[in-house]
Structure 1
C-alpha cells in the first residue's frame, strides 16, 4: 500500500517531533505604560500557583532583570506548560518592590493584564499556556501613586 506524500510528511513530523508540541518555545514580552525609563524591570516567570507572584522559594522559576523600556524582551526558550508572569518597575534600582501601607509605590504588571483590586491577582487570572508555538505577552504597568 502506497502512502500519499502528505501522509508521509505528517508521519515524519510526528516521529521527529516537528510541529512544536512538547518542545521548548520562544517567550517574549513587551511592557506598556512605563512612566519613566529609570531603573529596571524585574520579571518573575513561574509555573507554580503557590509561588506566584513573587517566585520566592520556587527553584524552577525564572528571574530576569532588564533595563526599563518598552522594547520587546526575549525571555528565552521555555518548556511547554502553564505559566504566569509578574513584573515590577523597580524605578530606584533597589531590587525589590517598594510599598507604602501595603500599596505598591512602584509599577506592577501581570501576564494577561488581570484587573487589579486589593492585592495581587491569582495565578489562574494571569496564567497562559506555552504549547506548540511561540508566545508573546503584552503587559500593561499599573501605578498606584
Structure 2
C-alpha cells in the first residue's frame, strides 16, 4: 500500500510540474506607436511589427509578425499592439496615401512616406535592417516613428 501511495504522490508531483511551463509565467507588454507630421491626411497609416532577424526590409509586407492599419487625424496616427512577449521588435510604417497596402515607387524611391524604428533618415548607406531598427521590449513602451518622404 505504501508503494502505491508513493507512486500516486510522484505522479501528482510530476503532472503538476509538467503542466507549468515557461509561458505560464511569461509577461506580456504593449507598444504604442505614434507618427506625426504626415504631409497630409490622405489615406491611412500601415504599422507593421517585426520580431525576426532578416525580416526587414519587407517591401511586399509578407514577413511581419503583426500588422495594423489606422486612420489619420490632423496629420497624425497612433496604434497599440498588446499582449506581446518580451523580445526584440522592429517597426515599419507606411503612409499609404492611396490605401493599396503597398509601397508605391517612382523610378527607385518610394512616392509615399515610410519610417522605421531607430531611423531618422534612409539612404544608400543607411538602408533599413532589423539589427538597427530593433529594440528590446521588456516593459510597456511608446515609440514615435519619423516619417520620411523622398
Q: TM-score, normalization: structure 1?
A: 0.75
Cα deviation code 1:14-44 (max 9, x no counterpart): xxxxxxx941101101102201111011111
Give 1:107 deviation, angstroms. Answer: 0.1
**More helix as a share of residues:** 2
Tell me the alpha carbon deviations over residues 25-65 of structure 1, each in whole angstroms, 9 at most, x when there is no partner.
Answer: 0110110220111101111101112221327443x710111
Q: Could you list the runs of 5+ residues in structure 2 that have no partner in the other structure?
A: 1-24
Larger radius of gyration: 2
Asked whether the 8 Å contact 2:111–2:149 carries over to 1, the reply is: yes
Residue equivalent to 2:52:
48
Paired residues in the alignment total 123
**Residue 116 of structure 2 corresponds to which residue in structure 1?**
110
How far does residue 93 in structure 1 lie from its aligned partner after superposition?
1.1
Q: CA-atom RMSD, angstroms?
A: 2.2
User: In structure 2, what is the Cα distance between the partners aligned to 1:87 and 1:108?
Assistant: 6
**TM-score normalised over the length of structure 2:** 0.73
- Do the aligned partners of 1:33 and 1:142 also contact (CA within 8 Å) in 2? no
The residue that corresponds to 2:39 in the other structure is 35
Give the secondary structure class of the aligned counterpart of 2:54: helix
**Structure 1 gap ranges (5+):** 1-20
